[in-house]
Amino acid sequence: MSVEFDRKIHNTLADADLQLAIYTATARLKDKRVETTAPDALPEYQELRTQAHAVKKHTIENLDYYLEEFERNVEAHGGKVVYAKDGTEVSDFVLSLAKERGARLIVKSKSMTTEEVDLNERLEHHGLESVETDLGEYIIQLAHERPYHIVAPALHMTRYQVADLFTERLKVPRETVIEKQTAIARKMLRQKFLAADIGISGANFLVAGSGAVVLVENEGNIRLTTSAPKIHIAIAGIEKMIPRAQDLAVFLKLLGRSGTGQLLTVYTSFLSGPRRGAEIDGPDEFYVVLLDNGRTRLLPDRGKRQSLYCIRCGACLNACPVYRKIGGHSFPWVYSGPIGAIITPQFMGVSHEPALPFASSLCGACAEVCPVKIDIPKVLLELRSDVKKAEARDQRGRLEKLAFRAFAWLMTHPRLYEMAGKLAAAVAPPGDGWIKSVPAPMNVGPLRAWLSQRDLPPAPARSFREMWRRR
Amino acid sequence: MSRDNILHRIRTAVGRSAGQAVADPPPVRIRIPDVAMEKRIATMFERIEALSGRAHRAATPEDARAFVAAAIEGKSAVASNAPFLAECGIATLPGVRSGILDREELRGLCATLDVGITSADYALADTGSLVMIASPNEARLISLLPPSHIAVVPRDRILTGLDELFSILPNPAEATSSMVLITGPSRTADIEQILVRGVHGPGQFTVVVVG
């Protein structure tokens, strides 16, 4: 475990306010999900999960086909598709377009994909202003933090912290009433929306057969981002694809309920291309950036490929006993909770934080609530095996390997094994209690560390082999 | 180039070749329940009110006109070019701007006026949603920028739900660049999970069903 991971976990556990905030927020989201997916509320819930899984599986197994179909349809509607292998290619595209069009101000709607590639930082580094417009994201952008939760990015902050932040960063009088804080943000951001040159959104789904980007939200900032500026750029992971618009009848029913316990979010936008013909408003230019950023790396593995079925509802975070204690910022990358524990090592490589796949009790609560039935515990186990294989390849695994080789040799030589057993019994401390330590010369290093957490049973008067011979 | 590179990596990983056909995607559950119109309206109103929206049943276009007139009294409003609003005489109510086709002019009005009045292409009973299809009749911003949104919908547009919508419109992209489902007033719970309405979109949401 890295020192960083360990420290963040301990800090979170020691912070009583934070513990309460995480516990209350996740409990609320969890209860609302249970309510709206209960058999009397949605009798076909399990059937929908099975279908969603099947559709995602089919799409990922034929992803190249659907990407090309998507591309053709976006272009048929006057939009443009750009492929990007990583964050640099995404920001290069946005920067060159902004330069060509003389754009300076960008409004952004919440997108985990752009968090993944630190898009705001990259754009701001080149002198563009890029403003997050989802209230929670706006708050954490002002605080220079990362989202705490996939659907509730500022879950960890209180109204008092928000008040201090607004006073400091927006130069407004201190305001602790949440409605008024929201009104401050509305006013500030309304000016940005009306002045922005470019709107950047993410995507919840890409519909291949329509060339459409589908976005769900409650605030209206996504609609503004995608409708007010003259240019709309949607940035999406390649795995967001679904074949047809009809599939949304399944996915939309699952996403709102699993994420926030809503039958549908307040706004669901189905956008295909720039404004057409005599339509009065909407963007003149429409781009979709399809991002790889490590996704194709996990495609070859049939077992772990299902990690790409995720629709980012956040239900597994709320259900996870580990997330609910250690919170979102303990996780080493932008994705937290069980889904973060399986996609981070695959996108970033297992050595990014080798302890991550082990930070789970494998209780299975995540798999139970996953709307697309990703078998998260199974993928965690496979990743644990990958971590061990990687360790075996490097220095740290050598000693352990040597010890196991010696043990294997001993086990395959019965005489020696018996002698070693007798020797161990002879040096074991007297008495018939549990053995808590070993004699001084051996009580060092790994053996000592191992015994600090474990006791050994007392040495038997006679070994099994002896009893067998005298039977 | 990244495009070809990414597509090549995918094909190698999943064992496909370029241009290879695919089997039909797995069928999805599309079931349209048989629900009488009155029951649909009752369910829709229940849903809208549960979300703190307002729902009103107008027996005739004149009723609808009177209801909207009362709702916008003393306020400024902009109406969409939907023929149904003209039929109801709502587009010509005093204090209502309508017939706007210029983008910049419309945007300016939406950013400053109190109420946006639209019709809707469909409504979904089981979620209490409006289906707004962008066209010369319906702009995107009227239902979005003003603090209050009133939608006036003829009763025959009320569908049972998402399944029926997607069987009527299997590919919405053929008709429009933007189809938006609106389910209640704009809201957030981003600070301490406390619900606040009217963040970026309208905080007041009113649906009038006519007929």
Which has the closest alpha carbon to A300: B164, B166, B155, B10? B10
Interface test with A, best of B190, B194, B196, B204 (most A CBs within 10 A): B190
Q: Contact, A248 vs B104, CB < 8 A?
A: no
Section A224-250 average pLDDT: 98
Q: What is the pLDDT of residue A63?
A: 98
Residues of A within 8 A of B141 (CB-CB) are 227-228, 281
Which SS3 state, helix, strand or coil, does residue B81 take?
Answer: coil
Percent of chain A topping pLDDT 90? 79
Q: What DSSP designation does B172 have?
A: G
- CB interface of A with B, residues 30-49, below 8 Å: 44, 47-48
Q: What is the pLDDT of residue A430?
A: 63
Where do the domains of chain B lie? 30-210
Measured between alpha carbons, how far is A244 from A257 in angstroms, rounded to an integer? Answer: 21
**Other CB atoms closer than 10 Å to residue A269's CB: what's the count?**
24
- Would you call B177 and A243 a contact, using CB atoms and an 8 Å cutoff? no
Give A374-395 pLDDT, tens digit per residue.
999 999 999 999 998 888 777 6
What dihedral angle (degrees, nearest 10) is formed by the CA atoms of A7, A12, A15, A16?
-150
Which has the closest alpha carbon to A194: A157, A225, A153? A225
Which has the closest alpha carbon to A182: B145, B195, B186, B199? B199
Section A65-88 average pLDDT: 97
pLDDT reading at A397 higher than 70: no
Are the folds of A1-43+305-394 and A44-293 the same?
no
pLDDT reading at A122 higher than 90: yes
Measured between alpha carbons, how far is A295 from A306 in angstroms, rounded to an integer? Answer: 11
Measured between alpha carbons, how far is A265 from A268 in angstroms, rounded to an integer? Answer: 7
- Would you call A281 and B177 a contact, using CB atoms and an 8 Å cutoff? no
Q: What is the pLDDT of residue A179?
A: 97
Can you say whether residue B193 is alpha, beta or left, with left for phi > 0 and alpha for psi between -120 and 50 degrees? left
Measured between alpha carbons, how far is A439 from A424 in angstroms, rounded to an integer? Answer: 11
Measured between alpha carbons, how far is A388 from A376 in angstroms, rounded to an integer? Answer: 18
Q: What is the pLDDT of residue A109?
A: 96
Partner A contacted by B195 (CB < 8 A)? no
Q: What is the pLDDT of residue B186?
A: 98
Q: Facing residues of A237 across strands?
A: A291
Percent of chain B topping pLDDT 70? 100
Query: Between A62, A181, A249, which is nearest B162 by CB?
Result: A249
Inter-CA distances, B10 with A54, A202, A374, B16, Å: 19, 22, 20, 8
| Residue indicated by tokens 């003149």 | A284
Nearest CA in chain B to A243: B25
Would you say domain A1-43+305-394 falls under CATH 1.10.1060? yes
Section B19-32 average pLDDT: 94
Which has the closest alpha carbon to A372: A339, A343, A403? A339
* Band of residue A455 on the pLDDT scale cut at 50, 70, 90: confident
Q: Contact, A193 vs A224, CB < 8 A?
A: yes
Q: Contact, A201 vs A232, CB < 8 A?
A: yes
Give A340-353 pLDDT, tens digit per residue.
999 999 998 888 89
Measured between alpha carbons, how far is B83 from A72 in angstroms, rounded to an integer? Answer: 34
Measured between alpha carbons, how far is A170 from A294 in angstroms, rounded to an integer? Answer: 37
Task: Give the strand pairing for B129-133 and B122-124.
Answer: antiparallel
Q: What are the residue ranges of helices labelled H in B113-185? A: 162-168
Q: What is the pLDDT of residue B86?
A: 97
Sign of torsion, CA A295 A301 A306 A309?
A: positive
What is the distance in angstroms between the Cα of A292 and the nearest Cα belonging to chain B?
A: 7
Average pLDDT taken over every residue of chain B? 97
Where do the domains of chain A lie? 1-43+305-394, 44-293, 411-469
* Band of residue A446 on the pLDDT scale cut at 50, 70, 90: confident
Partner A contacted by B37 (CB < 8 A)? no
> What string of DSSP letters covers A167-184?
HHHH-------HHHHHHH
Would you say domain B30-210 falls under CATH 3.40.50.10420? yes
pLDDT reading at A396 higher than 70: no
> For chain B, first and last CA: distance in Å?
58
CA Rg, chain B, in Å? 21
* Band of residue A431 on the pLDDT scale cut at 50, 70, 90: low
Q: What is the ipTM of this complex?
A: 0.98
C-alpha angle with apex A305: A302 to A309, nearest 5 degrees?
A: 140
Partner A contacted by B148 (CB < 8 A)? no
* Band of residue A210 on the pLDDT scale cut at 50, 70, 90: very high
pLDDT reading at B64 higher than 80: yes
- Would you call A246 and B139 a contact, using CB atoms and an 8 Å cutoff? no
Interface test with B, best of A280, A287, A296, A346 (most B CBs within 10 A): A280
Measured between alpha carbons, how far is B100 from B103 in angstroms, rounded to an integer? Answer: 8
Inter-CA distances, B108 with A103, B100, B112, Å: 21, 11, 6
Query: Between A58, A193, A280, which is nearest B26 by CB?
Result: A58
Which SS3 state, helix, strand or coil, does residue B96 take?
Answer: strand
> For chain A, first and last CA: distance in Å?
49
Q: Contact, A146 vs A334, CB < 8 A?
A: yes
| Residue indicated by tokens 């294989």 | A389
Residues of B within 8 A of A245 (CB-CB) are 166, 169-173
Measured between alpha carbons, how far is A256 from A254 in angstroms, rounded to an integer? Answer: 6
- Would you call A280 and B100 a contact, using CB atoms and an 8 Å cutoff? yes
Q: What is the pLDDT of residue A390?
A: 86
Give A254-265 pLDDT, tens digit per residue.
999 999 999 999
Q: What DSSP designation does A435 have?
A: B
Q: What is the pLDDT of residue A135?
A: 97
Give B125-138 pLDDT, tens digit per residue.
999 999 999 999 99
What is the distance in angstroms between the Cα of A132 and the nearest Cα belonging to chain B?
A: 13
Question: Residue A363: exposed, middle, or buried by beta-carbon count in 10 A (0-12, 13-18, 19+)?
Answer: middle
pLDDT reading at A282 higher than 90: yes
Task: Give the strand pairing for B158-159 and B122-124.
Answer: parallel
- Would you call A211 and B181 a contact, using CB atoms and an 8 Å cutoff? no
Q: What is the pLDDT of residue A425?
A: 77
Partner B contacted by A209 (CB < 8 A)? yes
pLDDT reading at A200 higher than 70: yes
Section A206-232 average pLDDT: 98
Residues of B within 8 A of A68 (CB-CB) are 7
Section A240-254 average pLDDT: 98
Which has the closest alpha carbon to A223: A159, A174, A259, A267? A267
CA Rg, chain A, in Å? 27
pLDDT reading at A435 higher than 80: no
Q: What is the pLDDT of residue A469?
A: 87
* Band of residue A369 on the pLDDT scale cut at 50, 70, 90: very high
pLDDT reading at B83 higher than 80: yes
Q: What DSSP designation does A456 have?
A: B
Structure tokens at A19: 């513990």
* Whole-structure pTM value: 0.89
Structure tokens at A129: 């202003």
Section A326-352 average pLDDT: 93
Q: What is the pLDDT of residue A395?
A: 63
Section A75-88 average pLDDT: 97
Q: What is the pLDDT of residue A292?
A: 96
Q: What is the CATH number of domain A44-293?
A: 3.40.50.10420
Section A287-298 average pLDDT: 96
Section B170-183 average pLDDT: 97
pLDDT reading at A429 higher than 70: no
Question: Residue B157: exposed, middle, or buried by beta-carbon count in 10 A (0-12, 13-18, 19+)?
Answer: middle
Q: What is the pLDDT of residue B121?
A: 98
Task: Give the strand pairing for B77-79 and A198-201.
Answer: unpaired
| Residue indicated by tokens 């910049």 | B104
